[in-house]
C-alpha cells in the first residue's frame, strides 16, 4: 500500500514543518541579535576594560615583551609596569612606549622596575613594592615573557646551561607568579574581584622536542605543567592561566641563540620561518 503525504491546501505536511522550523530559527536569530548579544557584547567590553587595568610584563624592555606593551597601549590599558634586568634598556623602552601612547592619545601610565626574575628574593621585594605602594591598582594581567635560549647537541651542552635556562625560563616565571599572585587573589583583595589573567610564554619548542634544544625545550615544556596545575587552583578566584607558544621571533635573544647553533637545528627552524615580535 502506498503512503501519500497529507496535504493542507496542496502543501505537504513536511513543507509546513520546514517553514515552521525556519520561522523558529529566524526568530531565535532576532532574539540573539536584538536582546541577548548586545548584553553579551556590553559585558565583554566591561570585562575587557577591567582586565586592562594594570599589566605587569617581565622581559618588557625588548622583543616580545616590548611588543606586548605596544599592543596594551593600543588597547588603552590604564597602567603598565615593565620588568627587566637592564635599567638602561628599560628607560629606552619606557620612552618608546610613552611616544607611542602620546601618538594615539592613550592614557596609559608606564613605569619600570629593574630586577632579575630568577632571583626569588628580589622579585618578591619588587612585587611587594609595586602592589603595596598604593600608586597602582593590583595587577590584573601578568605577562611572563622574560626568557633565554641556546642550542647545542646534548653532549655538547655544558651542565651549567641546563641550570641557566631552567632558572630563567621556568623558575623565573615561577618566582614572578608566586610573588604577584597573593596580591591578585580575590580573597586578599576583595575590592579587586574582577577578572585577572596570568600568561606564560613558552615556545614551539615547548610543544615538541627539537634537535639541539634539549636544555631549552625542557625549560619551556615545564611551563605547561605549571600552568595546568595552577589553573586548577586559581580558576575559582576568577583568574585565568594561559600559555603562549610563539615561533622563532626576531628578538635579541634569537640573535644570541644563533651562536653555535647546530646545522640540523637551523634547518628545522627554517621550516617555520622567522616572525616579528609585533605579529
From 217, 220, 221, 269, active-site residue: 220
DSSP codes joined into one string, 12-73: EHHHHHHHHHHHHHHHHHHHIIIIIHHHHHHHHHHHHHHHTTEEEEETTTSHHHHHHHHHHH
What is the C-alpha separation between 115 and 131, in angstroms, rounded? 15
Element (H, E) at 244: strand 239-244
Active site residue 216: yes
From 170, 175, 213, 216, active-site residue: 216
What is the C-alpha separation between 120 and 199, in angstroms, rounded? 19
Instruction: Please report the sign of the dihedral spanned by the C-alpha atoms of residue 172, residue 56, residue 116, residue 189.
Output: negative
* Spatial CB neighbours of 233, under 8 Å, sequence gap ≥ 6: none
Active site residue 220: yes
Nearest alpha-carbon partner for 248 in 271, 218, 225, 215: 271
Bridging pattern class, strands 196-201 and 239-244: parallel
Q: Nearest 10 degrees: CA dihedral of 166, 168, 174, 177?
A: -160
Q: How far is CA 200 from the centre of its chain?
A: 6
In sequence order, the β-bridge partners of residue 234 are none
The answer to whether the CB of 179 falls within 8 A of the CB of 142 is: no
What is the C-alpha separation between 179 and 42, in angstroms, rounded? 33
From 61, 62, 151, 202, active-site residue: 202
Query: Could you give the residue numbers annotated as active site?
Result: 202, 216, 220
Amino acid at each position: 500500500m502506498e503512503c501519500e503525504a497529507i496535504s493542507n491546501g496542496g502543501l505537504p505536511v513536511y513543507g509546513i514543518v520546514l517553514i515552521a522550523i525556519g520561522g523558529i530559527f529566524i526568530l531565535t536569530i532576532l532574539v540573539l541579535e536584538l536582546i541577548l548579544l548586545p548584553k553579551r557584547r556590553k559585558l565583554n567590553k566591561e570585562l575587557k576594560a577591567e582586565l586592562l587595568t594594570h599589566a605587569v610584563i617581565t622581559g618588557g624592555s625588548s622583543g616580545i615583551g616590548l611588543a606586548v606593551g605596544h599592543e596594551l597601549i593600543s588597547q588603552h590599558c590604564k597602567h603598565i609596569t615593565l620588568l627587566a634586568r637592564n635599567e638602561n634598556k628599560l628607560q629606552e623602552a619606557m620612552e618608546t612606549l610613552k611616544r607611542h601612547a602620546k601618538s594615539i592619545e592613550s592614557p596609559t601610565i608606564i613605569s619600570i622596575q629593574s630586577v632579575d626574575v630568577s632571583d626569588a628574593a628580589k622579585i618578591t621585594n619588587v612585587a611587594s613594592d609595586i602592589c603595596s605602594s598604593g600608586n597602582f591598582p593590583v595587577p590584573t594581567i601578568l605577562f611572563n615573557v622574560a626568557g633565554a635560549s641556546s642550542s647545542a647537541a646534548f653532549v655538547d651542552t655544558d651542565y651549567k646551561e641546563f641550570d641557566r635556562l631552567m632558572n630563567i625560563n621556568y623558575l623565573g616565571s615561577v618566582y614572578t607568579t608566586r610573588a604577584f599572585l597573593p596580591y591578585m587573589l580575590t580573597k586578599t583583595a576583595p575590592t579587586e574581584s574582577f577578572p585577572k589573567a596570568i600568561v606564560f610564554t613558552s615556545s614551539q619548542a615547548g610543544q615538541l622536542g627539537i634537535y639541539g634544544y634539549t636544555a631549552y625545550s625542557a625549560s619551556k615544556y615545564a611551563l605547561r605543567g605549571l600552568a595546568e596545575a595552577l589553573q586548577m587552583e586559581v580558576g575559582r578566584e576568577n583568574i585565568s592561566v594561559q600559555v603562549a607558544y610563539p615561533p622563532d621571533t626576531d628578538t635579541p635573544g634569537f640573535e644570541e641563540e644563533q651562536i653555535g647553533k647546530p646545522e640540523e637545528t637551523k634547518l628545522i627552524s627554517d621550516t617555520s620561518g622567522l616572525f616579528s615580535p609585533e605579529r
